[in-house]
Amino acid sequence: MAINVVILAAGQGKRMYSRRPKVLHELAGRPLIAHVIETARALGAGRICVVYGHGGEQVPQTMKSPDIVFARQEPQLGTGHALQQALPHLSAAATTLVLYGDVPLVRPETLGAMLDRTKGVVVLTAELDEPTGYGRIVRDKTDRVTKIVEEKDASKAERKIREVNTGIMALPTRKIAGWLGKLKNHNSQGEYYLTDIVALALADGVAVKTTKTREAWEMMGVNSKTQLAQLERLYQAQAANRLLEQGVSLADPLRLDVRGQLTCGTDVRIDINCVLEGKVTLGADVEIGANCVLRNVEIGAGTRIEPFTHIDEAVIGAGCRVGPYARIRPGTRLGEDVHIGNFVEVKNSEVAAHSKANHLAYVGDSTVGRNVNIGAGTITCNYDGANKHRTVIEDDVHIGSDVQLVAPVTIGKGATIGAGATITKDAPPGKLTFTKAEQVTKPGWQRPQKKVRSEK
């Protein structure tokens, strides 16, 4: 079925108390509207039109994509007026699905069920125990929909109705222009309501059907930071449940944040307070300790990430041990069985199999071979104040504690670097290289004493 998707995203969101357009506030690390766009793409939308307004060009600048067109609504005169701005971008032969940029959790399966019924108008509804704030679905004695009434305009009897309008509709595109042209703003808000299309469709003899959401949270929108926080926890609860169903062990499903795409092998274990952003792939038997942050990371089978470790844009091999309190920065690739210990930082470096940097080291812009031991306090001095330079450490090198390797420099295969050395020239393979400073003891020296101030 050919479909247009119109995403209404022009609202100001006054209760957000922010200069940022409401739809650009983030849920699970992405703008609210990004979730809606992803859903539209999952439905196979031929055209996606975003209607924006508040915040100027921030929405199109942030969400720019070849498959999205933008229509500006200025001024904002209601949802019916908003849809009118999208009309020039819609294919008349397709069904038009109206979504909302601040309603991010509706599932493609739910919308697919709506579209299966689109011979006429289909409205997505929900049954709520507490319907306050929502437009009500009014039916006649034969259970046919007769109208949708906004709560502010509803009678006392109509406010008791529990079936509510989510705002999401599927409409025959060829009919939309005529119906929108007949909308009136004779209501408490002085706006042109899209919901009034229902009565116009019925007057034209067009069938109006409904589909109910399976879960009430699918139709929840965001109008305040409180509601945004509530949706965040709902989203994360769903993500945690999916992981548990896939066999991932979570120390506490309530203390996990997935902000992207997470793929896990068998017998993966994740401790509390971990944040997983972007595309994260965890191989079989991977263990993630508490309070770790992983962003766009691939981790090989059997690797253990110790607590309080940050890994960003990196590939970690199988059987590694990283952390605690380690930082792995973009461009890093660790081979099999590499150990990166506490307070070690690695940036834009390749570290080959079985090498270790267990304590208090910085490895930046480096190529490290196999079976290398990097001692505590060692740093690669890769930046001269203007440019970065590379350090090469070949296989089987042993580097003592508190060594400075001043790049560009190469440490030859099997070399040993003595503790405390500052290496500014290439070190030959298989040799001991060190820089010697004379140790001096000064006889008769006394430590300075603190002067005592006399009182006046």
End-to-end, the C-alpha distance of the chain in Å comes to 96
Cα(133)–Cα(336) distance, integer angstroms: 57
| Residue type present at position 105 | L
Q: Contacts by 314-322 with C-beta closer than 8 Å and gap 24+? A: 317/353, 318/283
Tokens of 396: 């089987």
Identify the active-site residue in 25, 89, 359, 398.
359
CA 286 vs CA 87, 155, 299, 344: distances in Å: 51, 59, 8, 20
- 353 neighbors 370 (Cβ within 8 angstroms): yes
Helices (H) and strands (E) in the chain, counts: 7, 37
- 136 neighbors 188 (Cβ within 8 angstroms): no
Cα(252)–Cα(145) distance, integer angstroms: 45
- 367 neighbors 350 (Cβ within 8 angstroms): yes
Active site residue 310: no
SS3 43: coil
Cα(116)–Cα(57) distance, integer angstroms: 35
Query: Sign of the CA dihedral 151, 156, 158, 161?
Result: positive
Give the single-character DSSP code of 55: B
Cα(6)–Cα(71) distance, integer angstroms: 10
Cα(405)–Cα(425) distance, integer angstroms: 9
Q: Is residue 121 packed enough to be buried (19+ CB in 10 Å), middle (13-18) or exposed (0-12)?
A: buried
- 434 neighbors 448 (Cβ within 8 angstroms): no
Q: What DSSP element (H or E) covers 194? A: none
Q: What DSSP element (H or E) covers 241? A: helix 225-245
Q: What share of the chain is helix, strand, coil (3-state, %, to 5)?
A: 20, 35, 45
SS3 91: coil
Cα(54)–Cα(22) distance, integer angstroms: 9
Q: Which residues are catalytic?
A: 359
